[in-house]
Amino acid sequence: MQELLDAISDPTRRAALAVLWNDQEHCVCELMARLGATQSRMSRHMKVLRDAGLVRDRRDAQWVRYRRNPELAPELVAVIEAVLVAEQMQKRESA
């Protein structure tokens, strides 16, 4: 559980999860462009998410593509969704 909480504690990783949460695959280059991160930084963040079991990866030629882990327990899905929604609400209130 601590690994999961550590994984979602970082804003860049939460932003990556928000992008992946709609069940579409994205390569690191797409995530870099959307989140304004360097390749090495984004790859490091994705490794943390993968090691925590939140995302899956697959090699597609020279690219590594990531997607939400479809086998997450429903309780964990609910926690992640609550965190992502709360963050969006907080951003709107701050704007």
CATH code of the domain made up of 2-94: 1.10.10.10
Whether 1 shows a pLDDT value over 90: the answer reads no
Q: What is the pLDDT of residues 28-48, one digit of tens each?
A: 999 999 999 999 999 999 999
pLDDT score of 17: 97
The pLDDT-based confidence of 21 (bands split at 50, 70, 90) is: very high
DSSP the chain: -HHHHHHTTSHHHHHHHHHHTTS--EEHHHHHHHHT--HHHHHHHHHHHHHTTSEEEEEETTEEEEEE-TT--HHHHHHHHHHHHHHHHHHHHH-
The whole-angstrom separation of Cα 7 and Cα 55 is: 11
The pLDDT-based confidence of 91 (bands split at 50, 70, 90) is: confident
Describe the crossing of helices 28-35 and 39-51 by its angle, rounded to 10 degrees: 110
What pTM does this model have?
0.91
Of all residues in the chain, the percent with pLDDT exceeding 70 is 100
Whether 23 shows a pLDDT value over 80: the answer reads no
Amino acid letter, 81: E
Q: What is the pLDDT of residues 60-86, one digit of tens each?
A: 888 899 999 999 999 999 999 999 999
> Domain spans of the chain?
2-94
